[in-house]
Amino acid sequence: MNHLSLALHAALLTIALGPLCAWAAGTATITTDGESNTMSWLNSNTIRFDMPSTDGSYMIARDGKAYMVSTEAAGGMPPVMEIGGMMQGFGEMANSEEGGKASPLAMRITSIEATGKKETVAGLDGDVYELTSTDNKGKSQTVQAVFTSDPLAVEMTAAYLALSEAMVGAERVAEFKNALPKDKRGLLRMGDDMVVQSIADTPPAPAAFELPAKPVNMGDMMKQLMKQSQ
């Protein structure tokens, strides 16, 4: 799986929440499709998402923009690419593809119901909900999600949301903001695809969120390459 599809997958697994809380920075280990990733945040506008399977590459969201940082850029690719606009385009393509299991983030929520069951995830107590959503072709799916009112988990989910908005656009997660449980806005698990393994209020080093080079806009770069090939 290439860097772009990994970035899109991480974004599409994101679940939204509403009001932001007082920020206190932190770090979480999150498993997506069996792969362990680390997300750290300083505040709602400064997030880093490390993906070990991408040879040290990672994503950074800052001030509403998303970047892919490649520590071993090959084939003339720039070490830092702004990917937000392109990821929004990829999100639309993924939403229109036939077959496969669509992410609930790309679908319209039709119901969210508490099951009455409890579940402990990453040492935090949460409540199990059934989330039913429908895509633009009328196909529906139901997944179980675990939500909590724990303040740190709520903050983590806010950071996850900010990363998602920077990559695929705020409009694609707006409906989730309005549909989620109002008193339990911290996401701990989404089906088997996204599970929080650990979470801590350990402040990350501010230097970890600095871009190592001037970013290149990926959309502009792709347009330039297409012109050169014609």
Which residues fall within 8 angstroms of residue 177, CB to CB, at 6 or more apart? 16, 17, 18
Count Cβ atoms below 10 Å from residue 149 Cβ, excluding itself: 15
Q: Per residue in 58-72, pLDDT tens?
A: 999 998 899 999 877
pLDDT at 18: 36
pTM, whole model, 2 decimals? 0.78
Q: How far apart are CA 91 and CA 108, in angstroms?
A: 15
pLDDT value for 224: 57
Distance between alpha carbon 19 and the CA centroid of its chain, in Å? 17
Please give the average per-residue pLDDT across 139-160, as a whole number.
Answer: 92
CA distance 86 to 222: 9
* Sheet order of strands, 58-62 included: 108-121, 124-134, 140-148, 186-190, 194-200, 26-32, 35-43, 46-50, 58-62, 65-69, 80-82, 216-217
pLDDT, tens digit, 9 for 90 and up, residues 184-223: 999 999 998 899 999 999 989 999 999 999 988 766 655 5
Mean pLDDT of 71-91: 67
